[in-house]
Structure 1
Amino acid sequence: MLKNNIEIDVKVKCIEAATTQAKLAEEVGTTPSYVNRLIKKKDGIVNNTFLQMLEKLGYDVELTYVKREI
């Protein structure tokens, strides 16, 4: 089970960075609609098979975000 809510996490990180999902999409070379689909799709960002394997091994998955020093 993925414990994070990726949709909320990305939106919060965009707010923290004072940017939009559209600007983020432009910066990574894709479309705003594709970024939005990835965020809203339950297994769009984290591979569902990966999650299932770790669940069978007795683990839940939690993502931790660490700001890089630039």
Structure 2
Amino acid sequence: MSGKLDTFYIEHGIHGARVMTRSHQLTAGCIADGEIDANIQALKDDLDACAREMKRTVAAERRSLFDRSGSVV
């Protein structure tokens, strides 16, 4: 999952979750303060969406590990 721009995405594995970017260029060329603010806010929104997804993924993995350890006697 990623935010509305699909700029960032989440990878997760044995070392945890991390945010990756799909592109080296994260904004268009900006010449006005409003454009800068809008582009940066959109990136912040995407990162917030990534944070929610990372937390969900880590919590699901934690539950999975707990379920497995709870079933082993």
Do the two structures share a fold, i.e. TM-score over 0.5?
no
Which of 1 and 2 has greater Rg?
Answer: 2
TM-score (norm 2): 0.33
Q: Which structure carries more strand by proportion?
A: 2
TM-score (norm 1): 0.34
